[in-house]
Structure formats: C-alpha cells, structure tokens
Amino acid sequence: MSDRREFLKSAALGLGVSAFAGRAGAVEDAVKVSRGKAKACIFLWLGGGAAQIDTFDPKRRGDGKKKAGSYYDSVPTAIRGESVTEHLKRSADRLDRCVLVRSLNHQVVDEHAAATNMLHTGRPVSGTLTYPSIGSVVAHELGAANRGVPAYIVVGYPNVSRGPGFLGAKYGYVYLTDTEQGPMGLTPPSDIDADRRKRREALLESYRSEFQSKHVDDTMISDFATAGRDAARLAGPDFMSAFRLDQESASVRASYGGEFGQRCLLARRLVERGARFIEVAHNLNFLNGTGWDTHNDGQLRQHELIKELDYALSGLIDDLARVGRLDSTLVVVATEFGRPPEFDSGGGRGHQSGAFSGVLAGGGLRTGRVIGATDDLSKKIVDRPVSIADFHATIYNALGINPGKQLDAGGRPVPITDHGKPIAELFS
C-alpha cells in the first residue's frame, strides 16, 4: 500500500511540475542546463539596426546598387572556416573568445521603437503590462555587488524600453552621457572638502530621519528619503572614481579607440566597482552621421562606425582578460534588427527582423563557435533559429539567473523570459 501511495504522490507531483512548466515556460529545460558563473554583463547596444551582412555574417559581394550582397570584403577569424567583414579585423582575431549568434529573429514589425523594446524586454509591447528590461531583471535578481555603485547603468540616453516596468523604480537605471565626470548633480563643489561634506550629510540625515519618523506610513516620503540616501552614496568615491579614465595608461585608452570605446572602458571600470549590468549605447555622436540606420547615403560611411565598434569590442575583450575579469563578465553585442541583402533606391538598406546577428563574449561561456546559419544572402535562417527569448535566457543563465523563474507583477506570476531556452552547448 505504501508503494502505491508513493507512486500516486510522485505521479501527482509530476503532473504539477508539467503544468507549471507549461505556464512558466522552459522551467524544466532551464534546470537541465548548468548555470553560468558570470558576475556582470556589459551590453553593447548598436541602435538603429546593424546590418549583419556587412558585419558578422558576410556573404558574396554586392555592388551597392542592383546586385544584392555584402558591401565589403570579408576576412578570416579565429574560428576556423568563419569570416567577418574586413572592417572587424581586430575582433576577428579574438572570436575564439566569442560566440557568433547568426540566427536571431523576431516577428515584431520592422519599426525601431517596437523592435528596440523587444530586444530589451524580450517581449512585444503589451497593452496591459509594462515588462522590465533585461538590465532591470538583472538588478532585481543580483543587486549591486557594492552599495556605493548602482546595479544597473545606461551609458546613453534614457528610454522607456530600458526601464524596470512592473518591478518598480527601485530596479531602474542611472544614466549618463559624460564619461569624464559622471551623472550631473553628483559631483560636489570643488570648494567643499570631505569633512565639511560629511557634516552637511549628517545634518541632512538628522532632518530626513526626523521627518520620516513622523510619516511612517507615507511610502512617497519613504521612497524620497531612500533616493536621497542612494544619491549620497553614489556621490562617494566608489562610484565617482570610475570616471577617472585618465588613471588608465595611454596604451589601454588607445586600445579602445574613439568615443564609443572610451564608454566601454568606463563600463569595465564600473564592473570592477560592483555594477551588474551596464548598457553602452553606440548612439550619441555617430561618426558617420546616421548611425546604424543605413538607409540611402547612410551606407556610404557605415565602415567608419564598424571600425569604431571593432576597436571598442576588441579593446574591451583584451582589457577584461588583462585584469582577470573576462570569464566573470559577459559581453553582449545586440541591435534591434538587421538589414536585407538588397540595396534601396538610395544605395542603402531597409529593415530585416527575420534574420540578424548578435555576439556573446567571455562570461565563462564555451566560446569559439557559431550558433545558427543563414542562406547565401543572409536573408533567411537555414539552421538553429534563436528567438529573442532564447537570447535573453542565455544571458540570464550565464549570470546564474534561472530564466524560468517567476516574477511578481502585482500578484500575477510572470516568467523572466517568454518561454526562452538557454543555448545549451554554451554551458559546460
């Protein structure tokens, strides 16, 4: 009788787990893949739609007019038998430390805002729920490794798709556009020394605590007080010292290249100080005037942008390895969609979300491989499609976060990914 009871108990448990997996998505599959051990993620965002056929998935040469194909020649890489565009020569030599994902895809309309939201939240825009961005989820799950540094930072302009959604403002980001001095308002006046600043902070805290004690049930006052304390910590040396890029050697700074590269150097310094997720946007002062949105004449100077990416990515990989943080830091290169092989009437390219590329580097992954493949013109996926949910699940898993975990959206359970599954062979 006891055996029968145990059998029925096990069967019931199995049914319960199966039903849960159906709701939460990929829970059982996620458990089968070993968790990664990365501690932080640097997310390089190529806003505008980087053409995979002109960067990480080159094909036959086109003519920039009627003949479809790549705009540039290609060069071999450290992954045997694989090539990238000639303007990624430095990164090509370091692809043994990377994973090329050539089969990213989504079905969101090929419109920048909607696709950007998809790449950041892993889901299409919902009319009933605002989903959190990948950075906010990481902040929620891991928190900052140092209380004096934000968990989630955006080096670029603020945007709702980067936000915390239903997780709440606590898991939002600090954004900055200046790599030299940090967020506006956090740098203390030069005529106030450390002792005077401490006295001021102590006086402010006494007033703050007294006022808060008289309004213990007012969450708005509580949140405001918490924000003030957090801001004071961010004004301290742990965070603000990250912006002293002049502390780095001239050779290290030069290895990163131009403006975008210097932001990537800042990201490495922020990781060292305890930040968990840093998005570095390649969309502030574009060299080519149009960024990665290469319609019409935007195609003509696209190579300048690719070269800047090449320096930034290769410099970041080398530098993380130099300071012993490449295995513990996942580097991601992402964009909202790719570009078709055909050229438009102005000599540029349109939008393509059905097949495009991303890159993963370091993070303890099993690198030096390519995931997925496209046809002879990089227009259709012919092997191993990777959804955006799968891409997100892989990033979360690399950071030790269960991609099948349920989040709480005001009493409503929502899985971290939309049925995403990590790319299993990247984990030992």
Measured CA distances, 133 to 41, 49, 203, 315, 371 (Å): 14, 19, 37, 27, 24
Residue-level pLDDT at 238: 77
Q: Tens of pLDDT along 391-403? A: 999 999 999 999 9
Residue-level pLDDT at 8: 39
Residue-level pLDDT at 5: 44
* Cβ contacts of 415 within 8 Å, gap of 6 or more: 23, 24, 25, 26, 27, 403, 404, 405, 406, 407
Mean pLDDT of the chain: 88
Contact 79, 95 (CB under 8 A): yes
Confidence of residue 420 (pLDDT cuts 50, 70, 90): very high
Mean pLDDT, residues 352-364: 98
Residue-level pLDDT at 235: 60
Q: DSSP class of residue 35?
A: P
Q: What is the pTM of this model?
A: 0.86
Strands (E), 250-409: 277-281, 329-334, 356-362, 369-371, 373-374, 381-383, 386-387, 406-409
Question: Does residue 28 register a pLDDT over 90?
Answer: no
Residue-level pLDDT at 202: 73
Confidence of residue 19 (pLDDT cuts 50, 70, 90): very low
Mean pLDDT, residues 346-366: 97
Question: Does residue 77 register a pLDDT over 60?
Answer: yes
Confidence of residue 205 (pLDDT cuts 50, 70, 90): low
Residue-level pLDDT at 224: 63
Nearest by Cα to 42 from 334, 393, 391, 349: 334
Residue-level pLDDT at 185: 56
Could you tell me what percent of the chain has a pLDDT over 90?
Answer: 70
Measured CA distances, 427 to 200, 229, 282, 296, 360 (Å): 50, 40, 29, 41, 13
Residue-level pLDDT at 286: 75
Mean pLDDT, residues 202-208: 73
Give residue limits of the domains in the chain: 34-186+235-426, 188-226
**Distance (Å, whole) CA 73 – CA 2:** 71
Residues forming a β-bridge with 45: 281, 334
Q: Tens of pLDDT along 294-333? A: 998 889 999 999 999 999 999 999 999 999 999 999 999 9
Q: Tens of pLDDT along 239-276? A: 888 999 999 999 999 999 999 999 999 999 999 999 99
Nearest by Cα to 334 from 122, 166, 132: 122
Could you tell me what percent of the chain has a pLDDT over 70?
Answer: 85
**Distance (Å, whole) CA 325 – CA 136:** 22
Residue-level pLDDT at 186: 58
Q: Tens of pLDDT along 124-164? A: 998 889 999 999 999 999 999 998 899 999 999 899 999 99
Residue-level pLDDT at 221: 75
User: Which residue has better confidence, 176 or 376?
Assistant: 376
CATH of domain 34-186+235-426: 3.40.720.10
